[in-house]
A and B are shown apart, each in its own frame.
Chain A
């Protein structure tokens, strides 16, 4: 029942987001005068729109999904239901995450379908050179970054008991990490990996798994904090 409530809270946002997911590539095709631009840079547009939109929606979904009870002052009602607080944390996380996956899938499928209409592969550039070694990696890294951002924002919103504070803290932390990494690189010439980059000489897939595991640990941390939270 809680999943139903979470879905009900976010469904209109989700519908709007789905519209946003489906629109970029058809609009690009429409604006590209018969597909000339699509032939030149369609696959790049598809990748860029995927990475940007999925990341932005990850932040947005985490902000609206994370324990709305705290902003609505309804924790007294929800947390006196016979379920553990961890249940509420994970269910609301899962609902938002499912919506994020659907958003990503719709964006990717619509992009792929539009490109296919013009005979362009999402994984091939205009010169016919195969990007297969590069493009899937771009999509995968975009998806991992979105998962990481979603989990971090969700966890911070739950811990701070306020969606917007969580979003601010998450954006600040992400920007801070970039700044710290840049500072360390300048000072000590050490490359600090940032999500979703490859970690040292580890295989890429393994690095991405580490980032995803870290993302899940944020949710566990949020659960631990909320279980100790006094109403």
Chain B
């Protein structure tokens, strides 16, 4: 069995002249919680659609749970739960009827999970979907996804419209699900704090390109903002130096690995290193996607 839940190879999608996703090489390990970050229009949802076979890639390929996306769509959906960014369900059906509708599609369906979700997320099960608030609509969607007992959960901005208390409860449920059953969770979000709390791996996307893919712990340990002053400071970007801000005779470097080695090198060349700050995920994200 493949140890990779999602693997894409040079996945590309263009709409006319617009390159929505460009040569994406994504690797989501099994049993991991993977946070997929990016600004609006970065290409996250398009990537998810291609991974699920809902959109055809212009070039490249994607494999999900060892199966080829697009060609083995039905088999993939048997083992994958998906929450779309569009949280729209049948307006005239109640949450209980939506459960009844969905149950028959999945052999792994758990009514126990339905009850647990309904209780913990406080879902009004007998109210029609079109009468629910945006937050409750999202909760119904999440309940249906969690009750599938899927091997892989793909959640496109799942906590949008949720209040902080419910979002927290939902994240806890996700983490429990991953821990108890060993499911893989791949979710896109703008909420950096919540992602930082539960994700083990992070992928950052911008303008259709994957800027970063790493363990969250590695980001926290290795990513540094180094400020140095002096003459002859390097201003070129390298794989190690993601960005450089020049301010008079001082420079601020966003370094993604071996920050200590880089600082030592600067000192050896006569520069004065005034700061070396570890970065949070938010700071790293902002550094990565900031326009030059």
Contact = CB atoms under 8 A, between A and B. Distances in A.
Interface of B: 49, 52, 54-56, 73-75, 77-78, 80, 82, 84, 86, 88-93, 97, 100-106
Given A1-B100, A1-B101, A80-B82, A72 B91 contact: yes
B74 A82 contact: yes
B105 A72 contact: no
Interface in A40-90: 72-74, 76-77, 79-84
Q: How large is the interface on A (under 10, 10 to 19, 20 to 34, 35 or more residues)?
A: 10 to 19
* Most B Cβ at <10 Å: residue of A2, A84, A230: A230
Given A76-B54, A82-B74, 15 more contacts: A1-B102, A1-B103, A4-B101, A5-B93, A8-B93, A9-B90, A72-B91, A74-B88, A76-B84, A76-B86, A77-B88, A77-B89, A80-B54, A82-B75, A83-B74
B56 A81 contact: no
Contacts of A80: 52, 54, 77, 80, 82, 84
A76 B78 contact: no
A72 B90 CA distance: 7
Contact of B49 (A2, A8, A231): A231
A84 to B, nearest CB: 6
Q: Give 4 closest A-B pairs by Cβ, nearest first.
A: A1-B104, A76-B84, A82-B77, A82-B78
Interface in A148-193: none
Contacts of A84: 73-74
Given A1-B105, A77-B84, A82-B74, A230 B90 contact: no
Nearest to B74: A82
* Most A Cβ at <10 Å: residue of B49, B89, B106: B89
A79 B106 CA distance: 14
Nearest to B86: A76
Nearest to A69: B90
Nearest to B49: A231
B187 to A, nearest CB: 15
A72 B78 contact: no
30 contacts: A1-B100, A1-B102, A1-B103, A1-B104, A1-B105, A2-B101, A5-B90, A5-B93, A5-B101, A8-B92, A8-B93, A8-B97, A9-B90, A72-B90, A73-B86, A73-B88, A76-B84, A76-B86, A77-B88, A80-B52, A80-B84, A81-B105, A82-B74, A82-B77, A84-B74, A230-B55, A230-B56, A231-B49, A231-B54, A231-B55
B222 to A, nearest CB: 37
Contacts of B102: 1, 81
Q: Which secondary structure dominates where chain A touches chain B? A: loop
A139 to B, nearest CB: 36
B105 A76 contact: no
A82 B72 CA distance: 10
Given A73-B86, A84-B74, A231-B49, A79 B101 contact: no
* Most A Cβ at <10 Å: residue of B52, B73, B78, B100: B73
Contacts of A79: 54
Contacts of A72: 88, 90-91
Contacts of B74: 82-84
Contacts of B56: 230
Contacts of A73: 86, 88
A35 to B, nearest CB: 44
Contacts of B55: 230-231
Nearest to A229: B54
Nearest to B130: A72
B78 to A, nearest CB: 4
A81 B104 CA distance: 10
A1 B89 CA distance: 15
A135 to B, nearest CB: 42
A74 to B, nearest CB: 5
A149 to B, nearest CB: 27
Contacts of B80: 80
